[in-house]
Homo-oligomer: A and B are copies of this chain.
Amino acid sequence: MKKPTLKDVAREVGVHVSSVSRALDPNARTPPADEMILRIKEAADRLGYRPNRLAAGLRTKRTMTVGVIIPDITNTLFPPILRGIESVLEPLGYAAIIVNTDGLPEREDRLLDVLQERGVDGIIHVAVLRHDPKVAQMAREGLPLVTLNRRLENSDIPCVTNDDDAGIEMALRHLMDLGHVHIGHVAGPTVFSTGKQRLAAFETASRKLGIQIVPAAVVPASRYDETEGARCTDLVMRANPRITGILCANDRLALGALEALSQKGLSCPRDVSVTGFNDIPFLDRIPPGLTTVRTEKFEAGQTAARLLLEIINGDGNPVPPETVLPVKLIIRGSTGPIGAMGA
């Protein structure tokens, strides 16, 4: 009735538990005789034996479980990342505990405890702030840790990021090629490395491309959501009504920008072109189709998971501190030539 343990299998075969343990462990240092292994495995199968990973973990300090911290699973940016992570973890016998911070640092702190109490072998952090003492501390104490999308500043926690610089430059160049001269930027929250980095990239790229930026037409959002995108877009347009192109730090801000523009009676792309970042799902089906910078979400998850496993199981060789994934400009209907004849 109740779950059989090693002891039950041992009794069944008439050997000691340690023999059973060894027979079932493919990398046992002193495996039993082949014939014995067969008998033991047969009995284990027959009894429906399943190892108790809690007990094993208590002994070995390895739970084959990793924690994944994201801001919010209902944000469609994250599920593909999670599938990427799972795709490398699961075949190796690892399971993931996924937690949502909702962007609240105090919640994040508690969740870090939750994960650590469960003895996770490592954490993939997809929601880290630029400064996060607790995460820094845990990494220092030896907890294997990898950040994804964002990075923790002044730390040597390996991170997997997207090529923000290239992406922003592509988007800006695209707007320029369409003839746009007056361009604004709805920047991401500066507490995230992505917000800061993309803002810096915007400034660098506009200098490089010779585009004049009105400082007031660069507005940082306080969250990565549509409401903030709309609010900031209003400010951008107010700062410089001649603007015909708005580059947003991510897709949700851009979706908000679209709303704000139509609210003002402006048409996209006829009056104002808009670009996003990430290429979250469904964008192609939402008119007018957001032009955006596609990041490799599944790959990013895979890469982060591989890095984490390397840290956990590797032979101590240092892993690359930063892996930058390539991005790609996806052109859709939200960007168009300046002064295009509209319907």
- If A58-B58, A282-B286 touch, does A97 touch B100 (CB 8 Å cutoff)? no
A161, CB-defined interface residue at 8 Å: no
The answer to whether the Cβ of A275 comes within 8 Å of any Cβ in the partner chain is: no
Q: How far is the CA of A53 from the CA of B113 in the complex (A)?
A: 11
Copy total for this chain = 2
Given that A58-B58, A83-B73, A286-B285 are known contacts, is A52 also in contact with B117, CB under 8 Å in the complex?
Answer: yes
Kindly report which residue of chain B lies nearest to residue A107, judged by CB atoms. B90
Complex CA–CA separation, A195 to B79 (angstroms): 25
In the bound complex, CA of A264 to CA of B29 (Å): 66
Cβ of A74 within 8 Å of any chain B Cβ, yes or no, is yes
- Are the CB atoms of B117 and A53 closer together than 8 Å? yes
Q: Are A117 and B1 in contact (CB under 8 A)?
A: no
The verdict on A35 contacting chain B, using a C-beta distance below 8 Å, is no
What total of chain A residues lie within 8 Å of the partner, measured CB to CB?
42
Q: Which A residues, 55 to 91, have Cβ-Cβ distances below 8 Å to chain B?
A: 55, 57-58, 63, 65, 72-74, 76, 79-80, 82-83, 86, 90
CB < 8 Å: which of B54, B72, B286 contacts A58? B54
- The answer to whether A54 and B63 have CB atoms under 8 Å apart is yes
Chain B residues closer than 8 Å to A97, beta-carbon distance: 65, 95-97
CB distance from A143 to the nearest CB of B (A): 10
A145 → chain B, closest Cβ, in Å? 16
A108-165 residues at the B interface, CB under 8 angstroms: 113-119, 141
> B116 to A50, Cβ gap below 8 A?
yes
- Measured in the bound complex, the distance between the Cα atoms of B93 and A141 in whole Å is 24
Q: With contacts A73-B73, A86-B100, A98-B96 known, is A118 near B79, CB below 8 A?
A: no
A44 is an interface residue with CB less than 8 A from chain B:
no
Q: Is the CB of B65 within 8 A of A74?
A: no
Interface of A is mostly: mixed
* A99 sits at the interface (CB 8 A): yes
Note all chain B residues with C-beta closer than 8 A to A282.
282, 285-286
Q: A114-B95, A116-B50, A119-B53 are in contact. Are A82 and B76 (CB under 8 A)?
A: no
Q: Are A54 and B52 in contact (CB under 8 A)?
A: no
Q: Is the CB of A80 within 8 A of B74?
A: yes
Q: How many Å lie between the Cα of A52 and that of B120 in the bound state?
A: 11
* A318 on interface, CB distance cutoff 8 Å: no
Check A281 for interface membership: any CB of B closer than 8 A. yes
Known: A74-B80, A83-B100, A90-B99. 12 other contacts (CB 8 A): A50-B113, A54-B58, A63-B118, A73-B73, A73-B83, A74-B76, A74-B83, A76-B281, A79-B79, A86-B99, A96-B98, A98-B98
* Top 3 A-B pairs, shortest CB-CB distance: A74-B79, A73-B79, A285-B286
30 of the cross-chain contacts (CB-CB < 8 Å) are A1-B141, A3-B116, A50-B116, A50-B117, A52-B58, A53-B117, A53-B118, A54-B54, A54-B58, A54-B63, A63-B118, A65-B97, A65-B118, A72-B83, A73-B79, A74-B76, A74-B83, A76-B281, A83-B100, A90-B99, A90-B114, A93-B114, A95-B99, A95-B114, A95-B115, A96-B97, A96-B98, A282-B285, A282-B286, A287-B287
- A residues at B contact (CB < 8 Å): 1, 3, 50-55, 57-58, 63, 65, 72-74, 76, 79-80, 82-83, 86, 90, 93, 95-100, 113-119, 141, 281-282, 285-287
